[in-house]
Structure 1
Amino acid sequence: MGFWNDTGEKRNAAAQLHAMKRVADPDEIANAAVFLASGEASYITGSAFTIDGGVSLA
């Protein structure tokens, strides 16, 4: 039994679930965390950020 992304075919199938038709680069997820930890997010409280490339839109 392999991982969800251990072949190009599986990765492409997972990408099709997203509105953006691709899987996130790890840096894209990290950028959101860095933003939330920065002073730029100092007025953000009690919010949930969904960083899923639009998969939750379906």
Structure 2
Amino acid sequence: MTLQQMIKQKGFTNYSLAKKAQIGQSTVCELVSGKRKEPRASTVIKISNALGIEIEKIYQAIKEG
């Protein structure tokens, strides 16, 4: 499952996820588009907490992007 699919499955948009995770919308967009493949651990933790998905699954989705 891609990060974008995870975001949509949980009922978020890139913007609403960015707000809930307290990260930049551009960061979310870059991760979804594949422009950024090596996010900071703190960013992945924030996304994981916001989506309620395990950290490892978030990393896998980003790498497979």
- TM-score by length of structure 1 reads 0.28
Q: Which has the higher contact order (CA 8 A, sep 6+)?
A: 2
Say which one has the larger Rg.
1
Which has more helix, going by share of residues? 2
